[in-house]
Structure 1
Amino acid sequence: MEQPVKVMSTLAVELALTSALLPAWRGTGRDVDVEWSPTGVLIDRVRAGERGDVLIAIDEPIAELVEQGILRAGSVRPVARAGFGLGAKRGAPRPDISTPERFRAVLVSARSVAYSLTGASGIHFQDVMRRLGITETVGAKATAIHAGFTADRVIAGEADLAVQQISELMSIDGIDIVGPFPAPYQKHTDFSAAIFSDSGSPSAAEALVEHLSGERAGEVYSRSGLLSRIGSAA
């Protein structure tokens, strides 16, 4: 029996993979075992010696791991680009955050804003609060989590708004997208898939990466709150 391909993946692509791409892969008779975490957590685990067959993460640390020989040179395939946004409980009012001024006012007036301390969105949001001059007012009443889906805190009633990649907010049932961060506070994050140099199932890993970076995959990313990067240079 062929061993499942072990994937270490960022949460940003979970909706796209679980909704369509992984079921299609399993439909061919092949299995896959995925561990989901924010990129920061994933990279720390890899640097501590943990390995798998495929890594899906932000481009910059993937490039560093290629240079270190941990990921196979030439195996990197761009998959998607994510943007940051706010989510609210389904049915709750969706305030206008289309301008920096309105965005700031909404954050200040919220009872609590949930963000992740280890995710790219939360790290960026802390910089956004600093730039907007609201670290003390908004940060003091924020619901900060170590990792995971911030929208869960909104569903639980602990926060009014959740900050995360739009694709991650869409992963939680019962959440509406308020909107993307307005310029100049928006920041896009690029994600790629790559194969570990010491993968125990290199052929299956190659096939999976091809599956995740094919034309049909691009359509799935596009309807899952992401921008497709299929065909772009690694």
Structure 2
Amino acid sequence: MLLAPLLVGCQPVAAVRSVPPVATASLMVFTSGGFNAAFDTLAAAYSRGTGTRIAVAHGPSMGETPNAIPARLARHEPADVVILARSGLDRLVAEGSVVRGTEVDLGLSRIAVAVREGARIPDIATPDAVRAALLRAKSVAWSDSASGVFIQSTLLDRLGVADQVRPKAKMIPATPVGEIVARGDAEIGFQQLSELKPVKGIRIVGLLPESLQKVTAFSGGVVAYSRHPAGARALLSYLSSPKADAAIRASGLEPARRKASR
């Protein structure tokens, strides 16, 4: 398991039931790719302000890989907070792995398109242009998490290209899609903007047109078997406060002030 202790801080603001700062020695957080960049920045700030040590393990919101967040919780790996796609969080709440009532939306994510640096830039300005780009590409990649599931199960059918595109496409587990594109293993890749932004060697073409978009909320909750539930709530309060907005925007997300489509 990849553990990366981070030192973090700032003063939490009312969000998760107005939880005040809590002096907690340490917290363990599982976070999925879409919120990784924002969390690394915010965790460091929170630790500086509170003295709380934060360890983080990264994993997908869903899927069959051993490091997927649901699989980690099923093994009862030590954890206090989880941050993942809202649909995945809702399933964890329903099965009792996350405390009901602690859920809070943190950032809203949109799907973007990327190609290898130096490659031809496809037109994706309209649904027809996206359809043409998919048909023209020799290979396509998307993730096995929220954005990729939407593309494979909904978007291709909506564009009428499922039969032509699925045979030349790869659903990528665990690895960022941008890395697959940067290596030249896929000509065009689709993933949340916040997950593509940190990858070197790619060109982000832009966001999918609004009529083809799925806006996903990345959301947090307190793990049911957390040993530090008060500290976990305080961290979520900070992450959902206005003081977190700048880091969330810089990562390619929008701060969540309302529920997004799940």
Q: TM-score, normalised by structure 2?
A: 0.79
The secondary structure found in structure 1 opposite 2:44 is helix
* Cα separation, 2, equivalents of 1:77 and 1:145: 28
Instruction: Compute the RMSD of aligned alpha carbons.
Output: 2.2
- Candidates 205, 209, 212, aligned match of 2:232: 205
Q: Does 1:23 find its partner at 2:50?
A: no
CA deviation map 1:181-230 (0-9, x unaligned): 22432111112111112211223322221221121212221221111114
- Candidates 162, 169, 174, aligned match of 2:196: 169
How far did residue 50 of structure 1 move? 4.3
- Kept after mapping to 2: 8 A contact 1:114/1:150: yes
How far did residue 68 of structure 1 move? 4.0
* Cα separation, 1, equivalents of 2:76 and 2:115: 38
Give the AA of the match of 2:58. W
Moved more, 9-18 or 59-68: 59-68
Moved more, 75-84 or 86-95: 86-95
How far did residue 62 of structure 1 move? 2.3
CA deviation map 1:38-92 (0-9, x unaligned): 2113224434544510011222332343344432233222101111111122343
* Cα separation, 1, equivalents of 2:225 and 2:71: 18
- Corresponding residue number in structure 2 for 1:103: 130
* Cα separation, 2, equivalents of 1:63 and 1:133: 30
Give the AA of the match of 1:5. L
The secondary structure found in structure 1 opposite 2:251 is coil
Give the AA of the match of 1:21. L
Give the AA of the match of 1:214. S
The secondary structure found in structure 2 opposite 1:27 is helix
**Change beyond 3 A, Cα 1:7–1:145:** same
- Kept after mapping to 1: 8 A contact 2:111/2:192: yes
- Kept after mapping to 2: 8 A contact 1:66/1:73: yes
Moved more, 129-138 or 154-163: 129-138
5+ long unaligned stretches in structure 2: 1-23, 63-67
Q: How many residues align?
A: 230
- Kept after mapping to 1: 8 A contact 2:217/2:259: no
How far did residue 102 of structure 1 move? 0.5
Q: Does 1:160 find its partner at 2:187?
A: yes
- Corresponding residue number in structure 1 for 2:166: 139
Q: Does 1:191 find its partner at 2:218?
A: yes
Q: TM-score, normalised by structure 1?
A: 0.87
> Which residues in structure 2 correspond to 1:33-72 (within 5 Å)?
33-40=55-62, 41-47=68-74, 49-50=76-77, 52-72=79-99
**Change beyond 3 A, Cα 1:60–1:121:** closer
- Corresponding residue number in structure 2 for 1:88: 115
* Cα separation, 2, equivalents of 1:192 and 1:60: 9
Moved more, 128-137 or 162-171: 128-137
**Change beyond 3 A, Cα 1:98–1:141:** same
Deviating 4+ runs (over 6 angstroms): none
Give the AA of the match of 1:12. G
Q: Percent identity?
A: 32
- Kept after mapping to 1: 8 A contact 2:35/2:84: no
